[in-house]
Amino acid sequence: MGQVVGPRTFVRAARELQQRGRRVVFTNGVFDLMHYGHVTYLARARRLGDALFVAVNSDRSARRLKGRSRPLVPQDDRMRTLAALECVDFVTPFEEDTPADMIERVRPDVLAKGADYRRDQIVGAKTVSAYGGRVARIPLLAGRSTSALIRRIRRA
C-alpha cells in the first residue's frame, strides 16, 4: 500500500530511492471516479520502474481543467484510493494546472502518460529527456474513461 504525502516528502522519497539505485516512475492526473482503465494504466506504469509516484490535481486545479462540476470525488478521497493500490508507492497533490514544477523537482527516471497524448503534448517530456530520462506513452483500455462513465450515469 502506498503513502499519501506532502510535496516535499514526495520529492525527498524519490531522491532517496534514486540514490539507492532505484528507478522512479512518475505520472499525474485528476483520477476522478477511479475505474479499471485507471488501475490498468497505473499497473503498467509501475512495471516501468521500481516505484510509482503519482501527482494528483487538487480540487481547485481539477475544476480549472475540467469545469465547475468536477471533480466528483474530493481530492483526499482520490489520493487515498490511489494509495490503496498495490502498484502505487507515493501520492501527492499539486495545485498548478500542470505538473511541470513537480516533474522538475522529482526528476523521475521515467515519465509515464497515457498514449492518448502525443509526445509533444506531454508536460515535462522535454525536461525528462534533457537529463536522459525516459518518456513512456502507455496504451489505454478502449472505452474506459471518466467522461464516458459520467455520460452513462447521466443517461441512466
Instruction: Tell me: pLDDT of 144 over 70.
Output: no
pTM for the model stands at 0.92
The pLDDT tens digits for 11-69 are 999 999 999 999 999 999 999 888 888 999 999 999 999 999 999 999 999 999 988 98
For residue 128 the three cell numbers come to 525528462
What gap in Å lies between CA 132 and CA 47, rounded to an integer?
Answer: 19
Alpha helices in the chain (DSSP H): 7-19, 36-46, 59-66, 75-83, 100-106, 125-130, 146-155
CATH class of residue range 3-155: alpha beta
Q: Report domain extents, the chain.
A: 3-155
Of 85-89, 102-106, 113-117, the poorest mean pLDDT is in 113-117
Q: What is the pLDDT of residue 156?
A: 78
Of 6-20, 50-64, 84-98, 134-148, the poorest mean pLDDT is in 134-148
